[in-house]
Amino acid sequence: MQKEKIGMKNKKTLRLLLGDQLNSKHSWFATTDASVQYVLMEIKSETNYALHHLQKIIGFFGAMQSFAKKLQALGHQVIYIHLNDPNNLHCFDKNISTIISNYQITTFEYLQPDEYRVDEHLKQFCAKLSIESYVFDTEHFYSSRSELSELFAGKKTYLMETFYRYMRKKHKVLLIDDDKPMHGKWNFDADNRSKLPKNHQPIAPIVFNNDLHHIEEEIKKANITTIGKVDSKHFIWPIDREQAISVLEYFVAHCLPLFGTFQDAMAPEEWSIYHSRLSFSLNLKIISPAEVINKAIAAHYSRPTEIAFHQLEGFVRQIIGWREYMRGIYWLKMPDYATLNFFDNTNTLPEWFWTGNTKMSCLKNTIQQSLQYAYAHHIQRLMITGNFALLAGVHPDAVDAWYLGIYIDAIEWVEITNTRGMSQFADGGIVGTKPYISSAAYIHKMSSYCSNCYYMQSKKTGDKACPFNSLYWNFYHLHQDKLSKNPRIGMMYQIWHKMNPTAKAELLAQADYYLSNINEL
């Protein structure tokens, strides 16, 4: 008994917090315990696995530093390893091993990582530890890692709509009689596809004035290569829970009334429109999906004439449906998912993907916006940059790396399933039922980019013909063996086969010219 008391008295626990695990509502923090030591670390293995936007690294480190200070203010014991600390070994396992030795740690604990590579790294590390180790849930998501695979057990397809309805029923979201959708339909996506009217001015987004210049200086000192722009003395993204809640409150007050209607719309100089821009806060776990959805639903109930149901449902579907679905696919299919290349694409990204210096207005605006704000909304990502990359036959590895690096909210579990799956169809249809490609007609329909473009959106071949048009038909021509039996695009092949042979040859020649001169477009 005496030995047991001594053992309990000398017990010391080290708990690792990753940069995307800043959940202040986690049960770990319900009480303070002097024998529990938390650690957060800024390490080069996390800054260098992709070429990141400068705002992304600053945002992560800024949020981590803010969170560490808050924990300390609440009485928790916190070790914070800064980027340029002399004893920083820039790897999770090496830093943890040093702390275990220096602090005589008897137990190591961590939260489930959301990235496969980190999860494997920590599993392998713990398998070699001579002390006890435990892993805990992050207490953030609506679903578990394995819930999607359990729902679709024995099935060959994984329809998001099926998962979305399951989640709505399980969590009693927007239901009547426990299992029926409000207003008689599960999905109001057909009401969410409007272009911004001419002279319509969306509300300005809420931004912040966080002075994180010291972090930018540390990044430069560490010689970390980045992309993009930043005003680090006036950092606009939320870096703590209070700011994230401000973004949520601003969204439901001013943006939700028109979110659904214009969620697919695009326009030059309009980088936010009516989008919530909560993904960064959500993916860092500063704020939870449940409180986001509950706040939006409460706003609809209190202002039903101002916030129509289709505005709300479109937003709820993005959070409880798409976001959770992508995470389920990630854990079901990794690590093989990261190697899929259905079309055997091999091309590199055009050089202007890193500058935005292209004559194509839609790509120029979307890429330059991404470089300036580390953000683009889902249709810009899917139907502008992603669309072009797929039509250009870019290797999905290159597309993944670009998206993972350039966007502030990009963490692999949500990035790769959207990019390699939804955007590039490199998974052959696991996520999407058809490739998401378009000619200039769709871009013109959903945006005002084309009105000031060097190229002519209505022209298919010849001088100043929009590249999207010939590349669109070239894509179908190249991949008809793999796609012609897809029921969702059979009509396009009927049109292609009926097309005049001369017109087809001109389209293919135009596409070949553009692909051969892609860096000059």
**Helix H segments across 103-240?**
116-128, 147-151, 160-170, 213-221
Read off the pLDDT of each residue in 380-407 and give the average, rounded to a whole number.
97
Residue 40 has pLDDT above 80, yes or no: yes
What separation, in Å, do the N-terminal and C-terminal C-alpha atoms of the chain show? 78
C-alpha angle 13-14-15 in degrees, rounded to nearest 5:
115
Q: For 333, what's the count of Cα atoms within 13 Å in the CB-facing half-sphere? A: 27
Sheet of strand 132-136: strand arrangement: 77-81, 36-41, 13-16, 107-111, 132-136
Q: How far, in Å, CA of 500 to CA of 477, rounded?
A: 14
Nearest to 112 by CA among 84, 141, 79, 151: 141
Nearest to 446 by CA among 353, 362, 357, 356: 362
Do 371 and 356 contact (CB within 8 A), yes or no? yes
Read off the pLDDT of each residue in 221-240 and give the average, rounded to a whole number.
97
Which pLDDT value is given to residue 9?
64
Residue 428 has pLDDT above 90, yes or no: yes
Which residue type sits at 179? D
Residue 4 has pLDDT above 60, yes or no: no
Which pLDDT value is given to residue 240?
98
- Token reading at 174: 């927007």
Read off the pLDDT of each residue in 470-477 and give the average, rounded to a whole number.
97
The whole-model pTM stands at 0.94
Tens of pLDDT along 56-91?
999 999 999 999 999 999 999 999 999 999 999 999
Dihedral angle of Cα 360, 366, 368, 370, to the nearest 10 degrees: -160
Residue 107, phi then psi, degrees to nearest 5? -140, 135
- Token reading at 170: 């399980």
Percentage, residues of the chain above pLDDT 70: 98
Residue 178 has pLDDT above 90, yes or no: no
SS3 assignment, position 21? coil
Residue 3 has pLDDT above 60, yes or no: no
Q: How far, in Å, CA of 387 to CA of 410, rounded?
A: 18
Tens of pLDDT along 331-372?
999 999 999 999 999 999 999 999 999 999 999 999 999 999
Which pLDDT value is given to residue 190?
79
Residue 231 has pLDDT above 80, yes or no: yes
The CATH number of 351-520, from 1.10.579.10, 1.20.1250.20, 3.30.465.10, 3.30.750.24, is: 1.10.579.10
Q: For 366, what's the count of Cα atoms within 13 Å in the CB-facing half-sphere? A: 26
Element (H, E) at 194: none
More confident residue, 5 or 278: 278
DSSP per-residue letters across 295-322: HHHHHHHHSTTTS-HHHHHHHHIIIIII
Which pLDDT value is given to residue 260?
87
Which pLDDT value is given to residue 5?
39
Tens of pLDDT along 22-32?
999 999 999 99
Q: Give me the residues paired with residue 447 across strands.
A: 266
The CATH number of 10-136, from 3.40.50.620, 3.40.50.300, 3.40.190.10, 1.10.8.60, is: 3.40.50.620
Read off the pLDDT of each residue in 402-419 and give the average, rounded to a whole number.
97
Which pLDDT value is given to residue 1?
34
Nearest to 520 by CA among 360, 294, 282, 332: 360
Do 405 and 354 contact (CB within 8 A), yes or no? no
DSSP per-residue letters across 239-303: -SHHHHHHHHHHIIIIIHHHHTTTTT-B-TT-SSTT----HHHHHHTSS-HHHHHHHHHHHHHHS
Which residue type sits at 107? T
> Across the chain, what does the average pLDDT equal?
95
Which pLDDT value is given to residue 220?
97
Which pLDDT value is given to residue 8?
55
Do 400 and 415 contact (CB within 8 A), yes or no? yes
Domain ranges of the chain: 10-136, 147-333, 351-520
- Token reading at 503: 């017109």
Q: How far, in Å, CA of 366 to CA of 353, rounded?
A: 10
Do 494 and 488 contact (CB within 8 A), yes or no? no
- Token reading at 337: 């998912």
Which pLDDT value is given to residue 7?
47
Do 37 and 77 contact (CB within 8 A), yes or no? yes
- CATH fold of 147-333 reads 1.25.40
Residue 189 has pLDDT above 90, yes or no: no
Tens of pLDDT along 115-148?
999 999 999 999 999 999 999 999 999 999 999 9
Nearest to 470 by CA among 437, 430, 498, 447: 437
